[in-house]
């Protein structure tokens, strides 16, 4: 019998409302902002309109300074400046890859750092954002999973990553420009595929994505937002109901035996339980296909038999399978499958009627690829032996 490591979720969430000092308006829902403005003395009758005005300044125009909110009375602006701030995480560094991918290190309160990656493509620009510092889960192939420290990001810190990237890309609209399809869109898609398990920080992720989708501001369609989960089953139905974005799931294996090792949350919610939840998702969320992410690990999960089992398992689910060539990191206990193996695997899936794109690794020269993110302040790494032991791979050689 192997010992099963308990899956814990004891992370710290910083309260949204700090007891003292100015409150950050970024990350508040419309309702929260209304209440905060009333508490600060705004007459109840006016509060909704003030929220609309401030919301547009912050999320449509990208304004941070209350003095620039010119459709508000001067003394009201002064009151806002006293009681509130419009703050986004600070960019600590930016690396630009030869392929145009940008990796940002951003600092959040408490001195923690998270990574954000911008990936330009011909028809879109995707921002990969983080939901936690580190991750409580310990997927054996994931660099983030070896990071010790974890804290949930606040809604403001999550949407703040998008705002920081828009600052850097210079894409707040000029007067006369619209949002959505009429505005500048270098950043057209968001994926929650950075550091952390978004469904272990559900409320903050939800509130942040609601802000991203709000038509009076950043205004991204829910079809342009993809949340990736390792399989937190109880929260999948909630995601459908309360966010309604696209869903990606880190599937990675076709038997419970292997998935237990790769994605240990499988010990809590196994493949069968996960698939049941996924079957319901498109109906409830009225979303398109579910993306099954499948990391290609040499001689671990990349056989023809795996490909055939995979298509059998997902039969009946509107799905596409995104094959991710394993991104290696120092000390990783796996190797990337050979390119020909990945293509043969993709072919079996494609012939069974599913799209099977192979994700081109981006930003490899700056360690910006999926699963390589880990902040500089948390460089402390578990030993290779420890990683392998936890993955159930036996003694390190
Ligand atoms: N915690 C969430 C989202 C972040 S990870 C999740 O697990 O889904 C984003 C994607 O990158 C996941 O599919 C994850 O399994 C994958 N990934 C992690 N490490 C990787 C690596 N080294 N190479 C390739 N993909 C990796
Ligand atoms: Fe966490 Fe996702 Fe990495 Fe697993 S793959 S350790 S869930 S970030």
Q: What is the pLDDT of residues 91-104, one digit of tens each?
A: 999 999 988 999 99
Q: Do domains 22-85 and 90-390 have the same CATH topology?
A: no
CA distance 269 to 265: 6
Q: Are 196 and 131 in contact (CB under 8 A)?
A: yes
Ligand 2 centroid to Cα of residue 92, in Å, is 24
The answer to whether residue 139 is catalytic is no
DSSP count for the chain of H helices, then E strands: 11, 14
pLDDT confidence band for 191 (50 / 70 / 90): very high
Supply the residue whose CA is at minimum distance from atom 8 of ligand 2: 196
- Ligand 2 in reach of 192 Cβ (< 6 A): no
Of 115, 157, 197, 388, catalytic: 115
pLDDT confidence band for 329 (50 / 70 / 90): confident
pLDDT confidence band for 377 (50 / 70 / 90): very low
Q: Which CATH class is domain 22-85?
A: mainly alpha
The domain covering 90-390 belongs, at the CATH homologous superfamily level, to: Aldolase class I (3.20.20.70)
Give the residue extent of every domain in the chain.
22-85, 90-390
Q: Which ligand is nearest to the CA of 330?
A: 1
pLDDT of 383: 45
The answer to whether residue 115 is catalytic is yes
pLDDT of 354: 93
Of 135, 139, 142, 370, catalytic: 370
Ligand 1 centroid to Cα of residue 247, in Å, is 14
Output 118 or 383, whichever has higher pLDDT. Answer: 118
With 0-12 / 13-18 / 19 or more C-beta atoms within 10 angstroms meaning exposed / middle / buried, residue 183 is: middle
- Ligand 2 in reach of 142 Cβ (< 6 A): yes
Q: Looking at the predicted structure, is the pLDDT value of residue 375 above 90?
A: no
Supply the residue whose CA is at minimum distance from atom 4 of ligand 2: 139
């Amino acid at each position: 019998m192997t010992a099963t490591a308990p899956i814990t979720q004891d992370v710290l969430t910083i309260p949204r409302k700090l007891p003292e000092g100015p409150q950050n308006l970024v990350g508040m829902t419309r309702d929260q902002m209304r209440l905060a403005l009333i508490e600060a003395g705004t007459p109840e009758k006016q509060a909704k309109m003030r929220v609309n005005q401030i919301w547009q300044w912050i999320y449509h125009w990208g304004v941070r300074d209350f003095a620039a909110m010119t459709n508000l009375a001067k003394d009201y602006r002064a009151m806002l400046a006293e009681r509130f701030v419009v703050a986004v995480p600070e960019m600590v560094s930016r690396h630009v890859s030869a392929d145009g991918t940008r990796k940002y290190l951003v600092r959040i309160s408490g001195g923690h750092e998270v990574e954000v990656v911008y990936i330009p493509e011909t028809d879109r620009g995707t921002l990969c954002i983080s939901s936690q510092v580190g991750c409580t889960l310990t997927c054996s192939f994931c660099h983030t999973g070896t990071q010790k420290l974890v804290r949930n990001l606040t809604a403001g810190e999550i949407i703040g990553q998008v705002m920081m990237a828009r600052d850097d890309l210079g894409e707040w609209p000029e007067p006369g420009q619209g949002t959505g399809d009429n505005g500048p869109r270098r950043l057209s898609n968001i994926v929650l595929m950075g550091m952390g398990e978004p469904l272990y920080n559900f409320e903050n992720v939800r509130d942040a994505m609601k802000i991203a989708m709000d038509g009076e501001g950043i205004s991204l369609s829910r079809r342009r937002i993809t949340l990736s989960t390792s399989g937190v089953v109880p929260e999948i139905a909630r995601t459908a109901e309360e966010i309604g974005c696209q869903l990606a799931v880190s599937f990675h294996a076709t038997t419970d035996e292997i998935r237990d090792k790769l994605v240990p949350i499988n010990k809590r919610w196994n493949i069968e339980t996960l698939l049941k939840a996924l079957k319901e998702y498109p109906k409830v969320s009225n979303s398109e296909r579910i993306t099954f992410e499948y990391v290609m690990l040499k001689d671990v999960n990349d056989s023809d038999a795996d490909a055939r089992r995979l298509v059998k398992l997902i039969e009946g689910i509107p799905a596409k399978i995104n094959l991710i060539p394993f991104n290696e990191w120092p000390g990783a206990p796996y190797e990337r499958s050979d390119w020909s193996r990945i293509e043969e695997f993709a072919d079996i899936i494609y012939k069974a009627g599913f799209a099977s794109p192979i994700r081109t690794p981006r930003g490899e020269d700056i360690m910006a690829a999926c699963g390589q993110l880990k902040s500089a302040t948390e460089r402390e790494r578990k030993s290779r032996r420890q990683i392998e032991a936890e993955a159930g791979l036996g003694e390190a050689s």
